[in-house]
A and B are shown apart, each in its own frame.
Chain A
Amino acid sequence: MKKTVIGKRLTMFSVVMPAVILVFFLTITGRAEEKPGAPVPGNHSQASPQAVPQPTASPQPANQPNVSKPLSATPQQTDNANAADAGKETRFGIPKFFTTKPPLTPGIFPCSQCHAAMTPNKQRRELGFHQDVVLNHATKQRWCLDCHDANDRDKLKLANGDLIPFTESYFLCGQCHGNIFRDWKTGIHGKRIGYWNGEKQYYLCVNCHNQHSPKFQPLKPLPMPARPHSGDVVKGTTSVDIEGKKIYIPVYK
């Protein structure tokens, strides 16, 4: 009785497994036939961009866990995986080009000029000197010396005690904002200017966010478009300066 049940299961297994494997191989070969790295557009079967075949390089949605194992079993896919691994470094490593600088208050850096002679005070208090600093960034859990090193004020301090210069403050931010740090490294979060296929300038976290009060402040919008054939008559143009760029905007009557 028991034996037959097992036998049945085995039979079932022997029937189902090859089928699964077959289907599996068909899927793989089907995928391999598509040009690796072929883009999404123009390919109707792949219209959904999430389905781009880049199996190992990026954190995959968990819906294909059984796929990843056999993939590496076939030599073809091993190559693929290697290639992706090689790319991993550049894709998720710290960006190389930095030309932006942290917005240090002019005239007071290095901080040690004053702080060297002072005794560190960890007390939460009204600051005598840095009145311009409004802390609005997880205020309850944090005070100055959680990020600024108590002994070397020219450095920032990570949770593990490591000291980093102000130019690498993203390591500090990245301790809590891991997802955003990851996106920033790949260019998905944050602002980059420069050349799309050449040297880029990466804005540091603190170039856009005030580190002590990081939420974006509302902005005045530039003028709305003119309604056609209406009273919105463009009287002329004026220019505004945005990050050193001259931008022309309309002036309405």
Chain B
Amino acid sequence: MLNFFKDLVMHLLKGNKAYYVWVLFLLGLIFMGVESYIKQATDGLIVTNMSDQVSWGFYISNFTFMVGVAAASVMLVIPSYLYNFKPIKEIVLFAEMLAISAVVMCLLLVVADMGKPLAGWHLLVKPNFPSSLLVWDVIVLNGYLILNVLAVTYVLYRAASGKAYKMSVMWPIVLISIPWAFSIHTVTAFLYNGLSSRPFWNASIVAPRFIASALCSGPALMLIIFQIARKLSEIEVSDEALSKIAEFIAYAMGLNLYLYAAELFKEFYSNSMHVAPMEYLFFGLKGHNVLVPFTWTAMVCNLTAFTLFIIPKTRKNFLTMNFACLLIFVGVYIDKGMGLIIPGFVPDTLGEIYDYLPSAIELKVTAGIWAVGALLYTFMVKTAIPIYKGELSLLPKGSRPDIRSLHH
């Protein structure tokens, strides 16, 4: 066991130049984030651009987006485990690791947003359950984290022992994790959805749209990660698997756009007072239009990506597919991040319009948290790949496992 961890550290330290550059880059971002966070912790959240008018900003926007990414691993779990769809099964592990990184980022983002993170333990002592959706969110997110950590550890442990995992152990985890993935996103949606004070969020379509857009962004990120992993390691990910995922994204994006269209129709056609946040997003309100360019960028990205994914030719072409992935990522990031959170506060409950854009410190802290996620993911992949290749093993030295038995 000790030897295993020694080997693991050696593996994490070893790598080519690109690996070192990447890790150092991430460490640099983390350093910058920590420095900014220290400033924030010392001076207070006054260093952000948030205010009593727009009381949640960039942190919570990123949090919401990352919950989507975390939830999206379900996308890959369902077909692979339930239908024993071979090409995908091998790469579910990557998705679950992504979920772990994403949830960790979520938790960090929430902590970054808290005024008194050190008082966080109050949540455990006097949770306002079941009344507060935030308590629900804490429960489901941590539960999801534990589930995924369990699954990944088990699979890797078995692999390191030179054995394939037992379905009898994986089944219960999978059976729980599928509804659980939906729950983390639904609960997060309900967190906003349940506030009657914010008409922009108080629409019943919010939760379904959360799920639909998560089913786009998560897998889009996975597509890119798989290609990188495939290039950097000897892990096999078939083209067939990739195009299957791409197809899923196309459907998910179709649904997402449909739900969005339904929402836009309702707001703009009925043209009640509650159209104001939508107007702020798309056209600007009373001359305030900082979000308008972002909104239209997101629209163009999502529509283009949908077109590229729905046409088989462009879906199967790696250049256009990757481009579409990038577009989806950007589109959903805007749409489910700032595009969802900020209009909830604009105009505020007393009709004031406060133009919010993140401050430099918010950007740096968030970048640091993204870097933490990326680093965590890098290290997890860097652990998983040698295990699957048989280079990292719990077996006594010299005895190499039958690698083929690990693959399906």
Contact = CB atoms under 8 A, between A and B. Distances in A.
A–B contact with Cβ pairs below 8 Å: the answer is yes
Interface of A: 227-229
Interface of B: 49, 51-53, 354
Nearest to B359: A229
Contacts of A228: 51-53, 354
Nearest to A227: B354
A228 B50 CA distance: 9
7 contacts: A227-B354, A228-B51, A228-B52, A228-B53, A228-B354, A229-B49, A229-B51
B51 to A, nearest CB: 4
Nearest to B46: A229
A227 B51 CA distance: 9
Contacts of B53: 228
A127 to B, nearest CB: 50
Contacts of A227: 354
What are the 7 tightest A-B residue pairs by CB atom distance, in nearest-first order? A228-B51, A229-B49, A229-B51, A228-B354, A228-B53, A228-B52, A227-B354
Contacts of A229: 49, 51
A227 B354 CA distance: 9
A229 B52 CA distance: 11
Contacts of B51: 228-229
A213 B354 CA distance: 43
A228 B52 CA distance: 8
Contacts of B354: 227-228
A134 to B, nearest CB: 40
B231 to A, nearest CB: 45
B389 to A, nearest CB: 52
A234 to B, nearest CB: 13
Nearest to A229: B49
A227 B49 CA distance: 12
A141 B354 CA distance: 54
Nearest to A228: B51
Nearest to B53: A228
A229 B354 CA distance: 10
A231 B385 CA distance: 54
A229 B51 CA distance: 8
A228 B51 CA distance: 6
A224 to B, nearest CB: 12
Nearest to B357: A229
A230 to B, nearest CB: 9
B88 to A, nearest CB: 48
A208 B49 CA distance: 44
A228 B45 CA distance: 13
A227 B356 CA distance: 12
A228 B353 CA distance: 11
A246 B354 CA distance: 32
Nearest to B356: A229
B55 to A, nearest CB: 11
A17 to B, nearest CB: 46
A41 to B, nearest CB: 17
B327 to A, nearest CB: 32
B356 to A, nearest CB: 9
Contacts of B52: 228
A101 B53 CA distance: 45
A228 B49 CA distance: 8
B346 to A, nearest CB: 13
A227 B353 CA distance: 11
A229 B359 CA distance: 10
B342 to A, nearest CB: 14
B17 to A, nearest CB: 43
Nearest to B48: A229
A119 to B, nearest CB: 62
A229 B48 CA distance: 9
